[in-house]
Structure 1
Amino acid sequence: MRAFLIVALILMTSKLTGQNLDSHKWENRLILIISKTQDSEVYNNQIEEFDTSYEGFADRRLIIYHILPDQYKSVDYQNGKSDNNWTTSSKLFKRYANNQSDFKVILIGLDGSIKLQQDNILTTDKLFATIDAMPMRRSEIKNRK
């Protein structure tokens, strides 16, 4: 019984760290696509907008989180990892959603702060232009040459 409780505690702790976006700080930029429903037209159009920009996302060290009221999943383009399984949790939705909007997109920079948020579709061009104008991104590009 005691071993079962220890294993259960470890499993619960690992789920909680997955919900802590601070673990990405200084490693990845994050896009949060937040919707009250997975069937939302604007949510699905946003996913479609980002669907063909794998190289741009990887180059900019972007991870996308799909966040619904009771679940979330992530896509890490840099490492080619896509979590097709939803994780049950409402913490990210409660932290970042806004009850006045059915949909929201948020860009979080390497420093962990919100750089952009809007309640309509974020185009890939606007996303990349926003990131590419950031000092840390300009430094990344300069150091690559």
Structure 2
Amino acid sequence: MKIMMRFIALALVMILSGSLYAEPTATLSSLTSLQWYNRIILVNELPESQNVKAVFEQHKTQLQQRDIVWFIFDEQQLLTNYSGTLSADFVARTKEQYQLIPGKIMLIGKDGGVKFLLDRMDLEAIFTEIDAMPMRQHEMLH
């Protein structure tokens, strides 16, 4: 009986802990839902958007370490590492909210503020900018 109770208790702990750390699955309609959880990189209509995606994929671990969710907007499609679903008006709302200019890359901090604006993909510069942020400094210590 004791073994069965321990098994049930362990199973409950595993189920509950998994649900506490699961990524949000609700439909994302704006970046506000990611605030305080993720840094965001927005890539807006760069001619080499497929190359940018390849760079992101090559640096997947470093992006995850910095809690980065990225979105690449181009004329034909939206590319992202966000695991949930996006609302039909997500692109329009995001472009309007951040007044995105074609050909620009924007870094948004966990606080929702614009931190960095680039004309070309320079992931090392983005990482340097992030790693200098007080919140990131705190994360690296803990």
Letter of the structure 1 residue corresponding to residue 109 of structure 2: G
What SS does structure 1 have at the residue aligned with 2:49?
A: helix
* Residue 30, structure 1, aligned to residue 40, structure 2: yes
* More strand as a share of residues: 1
For residue 67 of structure 1, report the CA deviation from its aligned partner. 2.3
Q: TM-score, normalised by structure 2?
A: 0.67
Number of equivalences: 114
User: Hey, what does 2:16 align to over in structure 1?
Assistant: none
The root-mean-square deviation of aligned C-alpha atoms, in Å, is 2.5
Q: Offset at 1:136?
A: 0.5
- Is 1:20 the counterpart of 2:30? The answer is yes
SS of the counterpart of 1:55? helix
TM-score normalised according to structure 1 size: 0.66
Q: Report the alpha carbon displacement of residue 68 of structure 1 after superposing the two structures with TM.
A: 3.7
Between structure 1 and structure 2, the one with the greater Rg is 2
Deviations 1:40-62 (A, max 9, x none): 53322322222201110111000
Q: Could you say if the C-alpha distance between residues 74 and 104 of structure 1 is closer, same or farther in structure 2, counting changes exceeding 3 Å? A: same
Once residues 109 and 33 of structure 2 are traced to their aligned partners in structure 1, the CA distance between those partners, rounded to angstroms, is: 13
Q: Percent identity, aligned pairs only? A: 25
Question: 2:4 aligns to what?
Answer: none
> What amino acid does structure 2 have at the position aligned with 1:42?
E
Indicate the larger mover: 130-139 or 89-98.
89-98
> Displacement, 1:34?
1.1
